Amino acid sequence: MFSASVTIFSRCVKPGSSFARTIATTRPRLTEDPDEPITLNENPYAKPQPKCILCEHKIELDYKNPRLLQQFVSTFSGRVYERHVTGLCTKQHKRLLETIALSRRAGYMPIFVKDPKYLNDPKLFDPLKPLTPHSYA
């Protein structure tokens, strides 16, 4: 009777979840001392590390791909959006600036404006709602 209820209960618990880990850590301890506090090795409430859009999808920046690079360029000023707008990590933002400079020197992208061909491309982020407010604002 008891084992059947345990199997049904274990089917309800998602394997790998924090609750399953808690059960796994508490089971052997019940035989030792039930009143002993439980020590967990990792924080069950820890949030997953946020990743930028290029790291998340493992997108390689290429200077011969102006369509992707133009999505990080402002429609109005032709300048590259900053990190607080794009949400890129420091490494990818630096790489983006280098790639855009190389692409502009190679003639794949216009320098002062966004190419009108790519004006209707889908937006990766909303420049009017930055992730964090700008330090000068």
Instruction: Return the bridge partners of 73, or none.
Output: 80
| Cα–Cα dist 101/104, whole Å | 5
Q: For the chain, what's the residue count?
A: 137
Cα-based angle 3, 6, 10 (whole degrees, multiple of 5): 140
| Residues in region 34-53 near Zn ion by CB under 5 A | 52
Q: Is 97 in the site for Zn ion (CB under 5 A)?
A: no
Instruction: Kindly state the number of chain residues that form the binding site for Zn ion, as judged by CB under 5 A.
Output: 4
Q: Is 92 in the site for Zn ion (CB under 5 A)?
A: yes
Nearer to Zn ion, 29 or 84 (CB): 84
Subset of 99-118 contacting Zn ion (CB under 5 A): none
d(CA 116, CA 71) in angstroms, rounded, equals: 12
How far apart are alpha carbons 108 and 15 in whole angstroms? 50
- Contact flags string 52-81 toward Zn ion, x per CB under 5 A: x--x--------------------------
Q: What minimum distance in Å lies between the beta carbon of 53 and Zn ion?
A: 8
| Shortest spacing between CB 92 and Zn ion, in angstroms | 4
Q: Of 21 and 84, which CB lies nearer to Zn ion in the complex structure?
A: 84
Q: What span, in angstroms and rounded, lies between the C-alpha atoms of 57 and 137?
A: 31
Residues binding Zn ion (CB under 5 A): 52, 55, 89, 92
